[in-house]
Amino acid sequence: MDVGNKVLEIKNLAVLPEYQKKGYGRMLIDFVCQKYKNSFKELQVGTGDSLLTIPFYEKCGFVRSHIIKNFFIDNYDHPIIENGTRLIDMVYLKKQL
Ligand SMILES: CC(C)(COP(=O)(O)OP(=O)(O)OC[C@H]1O[C@@H](n2cnc3c(N)ncnc32)[C@H](O)[C@@H]1OP(=O)(O)O)[C@@H](O)C(=O)NCCC(=O)NCCS
Share of the chain above pLDDT 70, in %: 100
Judge whether residue 76 has pLDDT over 90. Answer: yes
Binding site membership of 21 for ligand 1 (Cβ less than 6 Å): yes
Pocket test for ligand 1, best of 56, 80, 81, 85 (most atoms within 8 A of CB): 56
Region 7-96: CATH code: 3.40.630.30
Nearest residue CA, atom 40 of ligand 1?
14
Whether 31 is in the pocket of ligand 1, judged by its Cβ within 6 Å, is no
> Taking 90 as the threshold, does the pLDDT of residue 77 lie above it?
yes
- Look at ligand 1, atom 24, and give the residue with the nearest C-alpha: 55
Confidence of residue 83 (pLDDT cuts 50, 70, 90): confident
Residue 53, pLDDT score:
95
For residue range 9-35, list pLDDT tens digits in order.
999 999 999 999 999 999 999 999 999
Please say whether the beta carbons of 71 and 89 come within 8 A. yes
The domain segmentation of the chain, as residue ranges, is 7-96
If you average pLDDT over residues 43-55, what whole number do you get? 95
CA distances from 30 to 43, 92, 96, 97 (A): 11, 18, 12, 10
**Of all protein residues, whose CA lies closest to atom 25 belonging to ligand 1?**
55
Mean confidence (pLDDT) of the chain: 97
